[in-house]
Every structure is written in C-alpha cells, then in structure tokens.
C-alpha cells in the first residue's frame, strides 16, 4: 500500500520497481547453496567410515564428525544424508559432482593443493602429526631417527605431505603410503610390529590408544594443524558462512568440547595406565566371561556390553575381587543383594554375572516412571552402586534446588552432597559416599563406549597384511581367549 504523501504516478513507479525486484529475486537469480539445501530438505555429507569420523554402534550411526554434522542438519531443519568415500582422493573428487550441495566432513586439513578444488570452513579441532612406534623399540625422537625404518602412512593426507617435505632434508628417508587402510589399521600394524612406524593425527592416537597397548608417541612431526569441513570450490559462500556460524556456536555452547572429550578423551579419563590395562584385560580376561555376559544379558534384556562394562568397573573382570567394604566377586554384590538375587557363591563368576544382570534389570523396572527414558540406565547404575534409597534422597535434593530430578546431568551434580552433613542431615537415608556412584557411572559409560566400538560388527578398513577384518584388542586365535561369538571375533 502507498503512503498518501506519494503521488499516484510515483506510487505506480514504486510498485513496479518493487515487483521488478521480486521478479529478479524470485526467478532471475539462482538460489544460493544454502537455499538449495533448504529447498531439497537434505544436508548431504560425505565422510569416511572410521572410528574418528563415522561408524555404527549399538544405537546406529555415530562418530565425531557424524555427531557434529547431525547437529548442523538439525539446526538447518533438514534431513541428514551420509555417504562414505573409500579414500581421501575419492572424497574430494565427489565434491561438486553430486546432484546438489555437499559437505565433506572427515577430519580434513586445508593443504595448499586442495584449495583449488575445495573451500574450507573455520577449524573445529586442533591436532598434530605424531610419529608412532612400538614400545619395545627405541623411541624415535627426531626426524633422523626415521631413517632405515619401515614407515607406512595414509595416502593423500598431510602426513604424506610432511614425509615428502622431510625427504628434501633427508633424501635417504623412505616411506610407503596406502589408500587401502585407515589410520586405525596403521596403529594396529605398529602394535603388531608389522611396520616400524606410522604418522597419524593426535586425535586418532587419543581415540585408539586404548585398543593398542603397545603403541607410543615418538615425537610430533608437525605441531598444529586444524581440521575443517570442505565444500566444492565453486559453491558460493552462503553455506560456508552458515557452517562457520554453526561451528562458532558449537564452540561457545560447549558442544565441540563434549564431543572431543567423548571421542578423544579415553586416555585423559582413564589415564595412560588405565587405558593400557583396559586394552590388555580386553584381550586376556574378557573372553573368559563373555559367553556368560551375553547369556545373562539376553535373559534379562540388557545390553551384554553394559554388563561387561559394569563388571570391568567393579572388579576389572576378576572373580575374586574384594572391596574395602567386603563386597565381593566379579559384579561386586553385597551379601544382602546376592541373597536376594539367588546367588549362593559370590566368587563364582557365572553366578555373580547372573546376579548382577538380574539386579540391574530389576532396578530399571523399579525406577520412577518420570525418569527420562534415555537417562534410566544411568539412574539404574547409580542405584546399583549406592542403593535406591540414597538415589531417591539425591533426587529430592535435586528438586529442592530447582533442578530436574528426572535428568541424570542434574542429579549427578547433587549426589556428592550426600557426603556432606549440611545436606545429608536433611535426607531420609542420611550419609552416603555420593561421589562414588557419579564416578561409577562415568567410568561405566566410558567402558561401554569402548566396548561397543570394539565389538561393532563391521569396523572400517580391512587388514592390509592378513586380509581379514580386524577387531582391535581381541585377537583371533589368542591362546588366552575363548571367544565364542562372531560379533567379537570377526572371521
């Protein structure tokens, strides 16, 4: 509508100009990359199937890159479509050749030769290039220590570039590259002494250290490079701007930090000793009990890997374990709980596992229905450790603080207060070592995550040497193991 102060002619001209603008915008100008994504209702992402990017676990798709792009797709309000490339060259060649815009999200570095074909986002993770060796060999400390060693790196990566650059200074340096393997395979090959050295990103070492007890970091070949997402070079900047806004928010909201901790924080959380022990016990102890975990889990409709994770937290899979408080056995049942669960001999691992499975299933059922579905397992675990009465006390304190008693994140903040008089004096069941169940649940989550990754049916990459799909940490034919299920030892 025109304002009265404007003459009718001017008004006509103005509305013509407006409709011309609308026409130009609506029909003449092609939609931006971002608009096309919205029109199609799909965010198409190409990644690689690897533990540090994208893989399957108990709940389906997972992985650092996957989770990050999932959040981005959600923010855009579109569906996520994931495709995987076999190697990095293929990944870049797929950019710009698809029917619609594509993001490459696969731990990529913006190396100069890639800039011709791709535009890169702001960084989301700082990593370094690390030389990895077997602990029983002398530690390589500087570039000249690489001479005369068998070195294998991933083709098309910054590590290949670094090695190539190093050859300028050390012409006698020799190395091989392959696009038939993943970083995890390279780490395993060092662990199994099939090669002397490899060079991979620090985040890949952090994620996999726990599965390969013999690998060590020699030295850092290149201090810091940044991982970024990439889009086709001829895409306009609309998508890139949106990605950068998203990554900035992800940094500010703590999302990036949470993902980094979850995927790359195993060693930070477990410590080096803990990480090595877990990897060793996975090989040497778990196979003896796995069948019982699986059977008990099936009978009580819980995930066997969760039971195994509980067993590791309780006893490191040792059937004769005894706590300072006299609680005993692989699943650490108190005398009272053992009796209630029909366990006659707590030191019998099969009975202990049965009892633990029955107890956790019972606790799941006894939890108030108001507790959020996704959080029920963490509440059940906490009450396995501290008892339902104390957990209820903590939930009441949580509500009194104006927090949500049905949310694990809120209750776990309050639980440690059960050990402080000013708080426990207000509760029905009184004093409890409230920090213990928090630690207990955190550790079990960590072990559970690792176990689900290790036991997923198909891990990326096929072994270069033996031609078999390899599950890190558990060796087919290991004399100590009595593996029973093809999901753990993949033929």
Q: Which residues make up the interface to ligand BLG (CB under 6 A)?
A: 314, 323-325, 327, 332-334, 336-337, 359, 384-389
Q: Minimal distance in Å, beta carbon 438 to ligand BLG? A: 13
CB nearer to ligand BLG: give 378 or 384. Answer: 384
CB nearer to ligand BLG: give 271 or 389. Answer: 389
Q: Minimal distance in Å, beta carbon 346 to ligand BLG? A: 9
CB nearer to ligand BLG: give 56 or 315. Answer: 315
Q: Minimal distance in Å, beta carbon 331 to ligand BLG? A: 6
Measure the CA–CA gap between 231 and 260, rounded to whole angstroms. Answer: 23
For residue 458, give Cα distances in angstroms to 335, 382, 461, 477, 489. Answer: 41, 32, 9, 19, 11
3-state secondary structure of 80: strand
How is 143-176 classified by DSSP, letter by letter? GGGGTTS-EEEETTSHHHHHHHHHHHH-TT---E
Q: Minimal distance in Å, beta carbon 200 to ligand BLG? A: 37
Q: What is the DSSP letter of 105?
A: E
Cβ neighbours for 462, distance < 8 A, ≥ 6 positions apart: 180, 185, 468, 469, 470
447 neighbors 454 (Cβ within 8 angstroms): no
Q: Of 160, 242, 290, 314, which is the active-site residue?
A: 314
Tally of CB atoms within 10 A around 245: 12
CB nearer to ligand BLG: give 282 or 380. Answer: 380
Angle of helix 435-454 relative to helix 304-315, nearest 10 degrees, comes to 130
199 neighbors 129 (Cβ within 8 angstroms): yes
Q: Minimal distance in Å, beta carbon 360 to ligand BLG? A: 8
The alpha carbons of the chain give a radius of gyration, in whole angstroms, of: 27
For residue 362, give Cα distances in angstroms to 102, 227, 384, 421, 443. Answer: 47, 45, 10, 31, 21
460 is catalytic: no
**Which ranges in 426-465 belong to alpha helices (H)?**
435-454
Tally of CB atoms within 10 A around 74: 12
306 neighbors 450 (Cβ within 8 angstroms): no
Angle of helix 237-253 relative to helix 255-264, nearest 10 degrees, comes to 80
Q: Minimal distance in Å, beta carbon 317 to ligand BLG? A: 15
Q: Minimal distance in Å, beta carbon 443 to ligand BLG? A: 11
Question: In the chain, helix, strand, coil percent, each to 5?
Answer: 50, 15, 35
CB nearer to ligand BLG: give 31 or 389. Answer: 389
Q: Minimal distance in Å, beta carbon 139 to ligand BLG? A: 36
CB nearer to ligand BLG: give 136 or 344. Answer: 344
With 0-12 / 13-18 / 19 or more C-beta atoms within 10 angstroms meaning exposed / middle / buried, residue 24 is exposed
CB nearer to ligand BLG: give 260 or 334. Answer: 334
Chain residue at closest Cβ approach to ligand BLG = 387
The alpha carbon dihedral of 147, 149, 154, 159 has a sign of negative
CB nearer to ligand BLG: give 156 or 437. Answer: 437
β-bridge pairing 42-47 and 102-109: parallel
Q: Minimal distance in Å, beta carbon 357 to ligand BLG? A: 11
CB nearer to ligand BLG: give 181 or 386. Answer: 386
405 neighbors 398 (Cβ within 8 angstroms): yes
204 neighbors 52 (Cβ within 8 angstroms): yes
Catalytic annotation, residues:
314
């Amino acid at each position: 509508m025109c304002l009265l102060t404007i003459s009718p002619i001017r008004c006509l001209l103005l509305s013509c100009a407006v409709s011309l603008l609308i026409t130009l915008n609506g029909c003449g100008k092609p939609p931006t990359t971002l608009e096309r994504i919205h029109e199609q209702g799909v965010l198409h992402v190409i990644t690689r199937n690897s533990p540090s990017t994208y893989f399957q676990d108990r709940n389906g798709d997972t992985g650092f890159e996957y989770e990050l792009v999932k959040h981005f797709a959600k923010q855009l309000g579109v569906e996520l479509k994931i495709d995987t490339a076999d190697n990095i060259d293929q990944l870049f060649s797929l950019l710009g050749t698809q029917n619609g815009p594509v993001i490459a999200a696969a731990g990529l570095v913006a190396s100069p030769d890639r800039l011709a074909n791709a535009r890169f986002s702001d960084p989301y993770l700082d990593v370094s290039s690390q030389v990895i060796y077997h602990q029983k060999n002398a530690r390589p400390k500087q570039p000249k220590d690489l001479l005369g060693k068998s070195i294998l790196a991933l083709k098309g990566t910054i590590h290949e570039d670094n090695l190539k650059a190093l050859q300028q200074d050390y012409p006698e340096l020799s190395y091989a590259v392959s696009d038939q393997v993943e970083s995890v395979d390279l780490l395993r090959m060092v662990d199994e002494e099939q090669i002397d050295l490899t060079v991979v990103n620090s985040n890949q070492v952090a994620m996999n250290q726990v599965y390969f007890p013999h690998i060590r970091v020699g030295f850092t070949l290149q201090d810091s490079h940044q991982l970024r997402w990439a889009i086709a070079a001829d895409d306009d900047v609309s998508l890139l701007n949106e990605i950068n806004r998203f990554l900035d928010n992800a940094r500010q909201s703590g999302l990036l930090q949470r993902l980094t901790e979850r995927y790359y924080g195993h060693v930070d959380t477990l410590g080096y000793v803990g990480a090595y022990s877990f990897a060793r016990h996975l090989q040497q102890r778990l196979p003896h009990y796995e069948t019982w975990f699986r059977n008990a889990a099936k009978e009580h409709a819980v995930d066997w890997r969760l039971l195994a994770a509980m067993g590791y937290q309780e006893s490191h899979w040792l059937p004769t374990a005894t706590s300072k408080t006299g609680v005993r056995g692989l699943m650490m049942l108190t005398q009272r709980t053992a009796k209630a669960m029909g366990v006659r001999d707590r030191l019998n691992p099969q009975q202990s596992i049965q009892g633990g499975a029955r107890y956790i299933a019972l606790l799941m059922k006894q939890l108030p229905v108001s507790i959020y579905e996704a959080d029920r397992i963490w509440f059940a675990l906490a009450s396995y450790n501290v008892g339902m009465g104390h957990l209820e006390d903590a939930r009441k304190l949580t509500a009194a603080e104006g927090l949500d008693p049905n949310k694990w994140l809120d209750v776990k903040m309050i639980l440690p207060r059960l050990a402080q008089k000013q708080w426990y004096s207000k509760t029905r069941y009184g004093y409890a070592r409230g920090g213990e169940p928090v630690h207990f649940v955190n550790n079990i989550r960590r072990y559970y995550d690792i176990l689900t990754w290790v036991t997923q049916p198909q891990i990326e990459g096929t072994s270069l040497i033996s031609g078999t799909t390899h599950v890190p940490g558990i060796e087919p034919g290991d004399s100590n193991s009595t593996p029973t299920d093809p999901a753990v030892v993949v033929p």
